[in-house]
Every structure is written in C-alpha cells, then in structure tokens.
Amino acid sequence: MEAVRAENELLQLGNSEVKIETLNQELASLREQLETERADREEIQAELSELKENSAPAAAHSQKLTPDAATILSQLRARRKKTKTDLADLEAILEILES
C-alpha cells in the first residue's frame, strides 16, 4: 500500500513538473509576443509623429494661400457690382471646396 502511495506521489510530482514546463513555455511565448507588440507600437508612434510633423507645416501653408471669405467676397463685389452673394454663401462654398 505504501509503495502505491509513493508511486502516486511520484506521478503527481512528474505531472506537476510537466505542467510547470508547459507554463514556462507559454510564458516565454507571451513575452516574445509582448516584445513584438511593443516594437510595433513604437514604430507606429514614430510614423504618427512624423506624419504630424509633416502635416502641420502643410496646413499652415494652405491657410496662408487661401484668403478668408470676407476678402474673397470683397473681391467678388469689386468685379461684379450687382452680385447677391453674401458672406454666409461664400463661407459655405469654401467649406465645400475644402472637403
């Protein structure tokens, strides 16, 4: 009887060691996956930062090139004295052109 009990304890110990080894392998795999995800995230953040840096000057440049609605309305009225276009109409037109 004692021999059977000892054998069961050895089997349980062996099963525990197998479970520990399996868990260690899973842990190693998850650590590799985490490192990959971190590297991907850093790469994406770098790309986003670069895009932000490149788009900010372009947006500022675009705003400098585009006169505001009031200026355009004044120019339109100077060319076409009887135009019925008002500032709200012109702002709506500019919004359509920007989108």
The pLDDT of 64-87, averaged and rounded, is: 77
- Give me the pLDDT at residue 60, please: 58
Domain parsing of the chain, residue ranges? 1-65, 66-99
- In SS3 terms, the chain reads as CHHHHHHHHHHHHHHHHHHHHHHHHHHHHHHHHHHHHHHHHHHHHHHHHHHHHHHHHHHHHHHHHCCCHHHHHHHHHHHCCCCCCCHHHHHHHHHHHHC
Q: Is the pTM of this model over 0.75?
A: no
